[in-house]
Amino acid sequence: MALYAGIDCGTQGSKVVIVDGDKGTLLGEGSAPHRLISDSSGRREQLAGWWIDALELAFKQAVAQAAIDAGQIAALSVSGQQHGFVALDQQGDVLHAVKLWCDTETAEENAQLLQKLGGIEGSLARLGLMVATGYTASKILWFKNHYPQRWQRLHTVLLPHDYLNFWLTGERVAEYGDASGTGLFNIRTRQWDRHTADLIDDSGRLWKALPPLQRAEQCVGRLRPEAARRLGLNPAARVASGGGDNMMAAIGTGNIQPGTITLSLGTSGTLFTYADAPVVASSEMIAGFCSSNNGWLPLICTMNVTSATTTVRQLLQEDIAAFNQLLEQTRPGAGGIVMLPFFNGERVPQLPHARASLHNLDSDNFTRANLCLAVVESATYGLRYGIDLFRAQGLEAGEIRLTGGGARSPRWRQIVADVMDCPVVCLAEKESAALGAAIQAMWCDQLADDPALAPAPLLDALCRRFVRLDESTRTRPDPQRRQQYAGLYADYLRQLQQSWPEVRL
């Protein structure tokens, strides 16, 4: 029996799944939470050691649930939250708490770097995407400015998943997909960009600290004895290249060929699709990342999805079941209410200082049910705005694969199908990033055993075997509501531009 493990190190916690590579079944899973260091400055950090502790606990839970001998696991792979910054010295010690993707304390440094790159157009021309505050590059500049003595000890720059690979194997490497979200990487050539690194540090220290890059189908190495002991694994087990959480979720949702969009109705909203050529978009709001299967993964992220619906639900003091019942009590358009749901500012469109607002209220339409529907519809319109940016680049989809907590609501699934004018379906396995990592572990392990295998067809076969759609959730656009929502979305865009004239439609 060939067993494989997928690890997902996210912001809120670590998850582990164990799959049977022969039978194509998921045997067990485990999870453990992470703490978060935060304050009003925008600081969002974690200690790298917390990830190791959570990984050990989640691994033991998954092994216990699977009722297997962990020594039978042939290979494992790591999915990690993107854009973090792990600074290592020569001995492999972490020099500072890890700044996360959601850290905004480095906004000033990002603005400086973007200006040096020649603004948005210069960044797109140089790297293929616009460097953003959440990316790794500005975190490095912040670290250099605030901790000059520690900076002198910097030996290696790693991303969160790279660091877990380092802990597992002792190897300091990176792969194209996750590296493309650093702001130091040219997505066209799949190489670190020396010019951008020198804008941050012209001494050469940063350039030397960037780890070697490897292809997605390659293994990093085998387990260190200490890592094997703590996880109960065979030291001969291989560690695959791994990747960023979005890249692994693409594999875990079978989004490895053009024609499918993965859309997450989570705290924020993420949508991405596969491309077999670099996507240097006309809009800086599309991040033209590389994928973790040697292609590209153009991605858009909106800031207000279930974070917005949770705000309204808590205001009304309703649980999720009651909130969904209220959704069923009203019709498309929420009685004429239009919401701009920017409780956390917004990234797409770029309105970082925006605030939420309600429009067209009167004594008849201002009801609990309409308020619930208005926030769901507006969050969906924000994602439709992103879909339209994709379509403008020629990135069409025949199907949307939904993930995230909001996807559990049948009414919300129907709204997505009607607003996007596209069929939607959920996945049978909810932990798509961890599953994607397990599939990638199988992929890399089998290629290591038989280098004559063709990488792309093998990964396609593995995804067809392990990625299962939940057909009970399949939802198609309703012709009447689709037409109705086309008009309602136009109303939303008019209100958006009236409130924020700088938005380009």
How many Cα atoms are found within 13 Å in the side-chain-facing hemisphere of 59? 25
Does residue 84 sit within a domain?
yes
pLDDT of residue 144: 98
pLDDT greater than 80 at residue 282: no
Does residue 195 sit within a domain?
yes
Q: Which two tokens stand for residue 262?
A: 């993965």
Q: Which of 103, 245, 418, 445 is catalytic?
A: 245
The yes-or-no answer on residue 245 being catalytic is yes
* Binding-site annotation: residue ranges for substrate: 82-83
Q: How many domains does the chain have?
A: 1
| Helix ranges (DSSP H) in 239-305 | 245-252
Strand partners, 427: 469
Does residue 129 sit within a domain?
yes
pLDDT of residue 423: 97
Span 171-186, average pLDDT: 97
How many Cα atoms are found within 13 Å in the side-chain-facing hemisphere of 195? 10
pLDDT greater than 80 at residue 505: no
Q: Which two tokens stand for residue 109?
A: 């440094």
Longest dimension (CA), the chain: 70
Does residue 500 sit within a domain?
no
Does residue 96 sit within a domain?
yes
R_g of the chain, CA atoms, integer Å: 22
Does residue 121 sit within a domain?
yes
Whole-prediction pTM: 0.93
pLDDT of residue 283: 81
Q: Which two tokens stand for residue 316?
A: 């009304």
**In this structure, what is the dihedral angle of CA atoms 15, 386, 500, 123, given to the nearest 10 degrees?**
80
- What residue type is 467 in one-letter code? V
Strand partners, 26: 19
Strand partners, 32: 14
pLDDT greater than 90 at residue 23: no
pLDDT of residue 267: 85
pLDDT greater than 80 at residue 281: no
Q: Which two tokens stand for residue 375?
A: 């926030």
Report strand pairing: 287-290 vs 296-302.
antiparallel
CA nearest to 336, candidates 363, 302, 309, 356: 363
Does residue 169 sit within a domain?
yes
* Binding-site annotation: residue ranges: 82-83
pLDDT greater than 90 at residue 503: no
pLDDT of residue 40: 86
Domain CATH code at residue 174: 3.30.420.40
pLDDT over 70, % of the chain: 100
**Which tens digits make up the pLDDT trace of 290-309?**
999 999 999 999 989 999 99
Instruction: Write out the residue range of the structural domain in which residue 193 sits.
Output: 3-243
**Which tens digits make up the pLDDT trace of 432-459?**
999 999 999 999 999 999 999 999 999 9
Span 195-217, average pLDDT: 97
pLDDT greater than 90 at residue 347: no
Over the chain, what is the mean pLDDT? 95
Does residue 318 sit within a domain?
no
